Amino acid sequence: MSAAGIRGKVRLSKAKPDHDRCFLSPFESLSLSLNGFFLRDDFLGQAVCSRVRSEVVRKVNSQSLRQAGIGREQKVDTSIRGDQFCWMEKSEAGPGIRELMSHLELLRKSINREFYLGLDRFEMQLAHFAPGSGGYKKHLDAFKGRNPRNRRLTTIYYLNRGWQHGDGGELSIDLKGQDVFIEPVADRLVVFFAEQLEHAVLPNQKSRLALTSWFHSP
Ligand code: OGA
Ligand code: NI
């Protein structure tokens, strides 16, 4: 390598890291553009993940969740959708969930930069599938095709420590007719284009917790 090349390298490594720009790895960007999704393990690290989990468990135990419905009328049909949910507001969130929200902010900026989506906000929902629930049948998180009110990007952060094969509750994503199964293990983040990918949650044997966020553009 030429001296100029080496000097260039040194200068680069001394540069202040631009976290917004580095947030997506090249592999994640590629997977998002080719497949419409990617997943990242160890998203927040064990300590922060445990904190998020205890905040979420406290919320579930406070009886503030309600049975999820489907469609515009939010009709309850547990054979289609079996979770209980509540919205998470930043103003009421504990330090763990606020940390998750600030990481999702970095993700938002980074995806905007690479994919020109103009995402400007997200809303977060806590979902709890009690043991023995029937999961959530195949669906799209957005209206079909472009719609100004659409959710454009979905992220799901899982909180299930010690998840084992047989516990169920896998996320199944339909990738061009082929289902890909994703285990809902603690500290895993799944990211996908909400208008593109149909997905389902398989029935679960053990309690299943997740924080789902939907990103919008104006
Ligand atoms: C949803 C959903 C998937 C999951 O809430 O719309 O599809 O893995 N959740 O929790
Ligand atoms: Ni969904």
Going by CA atoms, what residue is nearest to atom 10 of ligand 1? 210
How far apart, in whole angstroms, are the C-alpha atoms of residue 7 and residue 101? Answer: 38
pLDDT (average), residues 6-23:
48
Give the number of the atom of ligand 1 that is nearest the alpha carbon of residue 171: 8
The pLDDT assigned to 19 comes to: 53
What is the CB neighbour count within 10 angstroms for residue 167?
Answer: 18
CB of 210 closer than 6 A to ligand 1?
A: yes
Ligand 1, from 133, 143, 163, 199: best to mutate by most atoms within 8 Å of Cβ? 199
pTM, 2 dp? 0.90
Cα 84 to its chain centre, rounded Å, is 17
Burial (Cβ within 10 Å: 0-12, 13-18, ≥19) of residue 90? exposed
pLDDT tens, position by position, 142-189 = 987 677 778 999 999 999 999 999 999 999 999 999 999 999 999 999
CB 150 within 8 A of CB 195: yes
Going by CA atoms, what residue is nearest to atom 6 of ligand 1? 141
CB of 197 closer than 6 A to ligand 1?
A: no
CB of 97 closer than 6 A to ligand 1?
A: no
The pLDDT assigned to 71 comes to: 80
Q: Can you list the domains of the chain with their CATH numbers?
A: 3-9+27-62+101-217 (2.60.120.620)
CB of 141 closer than 6 A to ligand 1?
A: yes
Residues sharing a CB contact under 8 Å with residue 70, sequence separation 6 or more, in sequence order: 76, 77, 80, 81
Model confidence at 22, pLDDT cuts 50, 70, 90, reads: low
Structure-derived torsion over alpha carbons of residues 194, 200, 206, 212, reported in degrees to the nearest 10:
10
The pLDDT assigned to 170 comes to: 98
CB of 136 closer than 6 A to ligand 1?
A: yes
Four-residue CA torsion sign, 59, 119, 46, 93 = negative
Q: Which of 143, 121, 140 is nearest to 217 (CA)?
A: 121
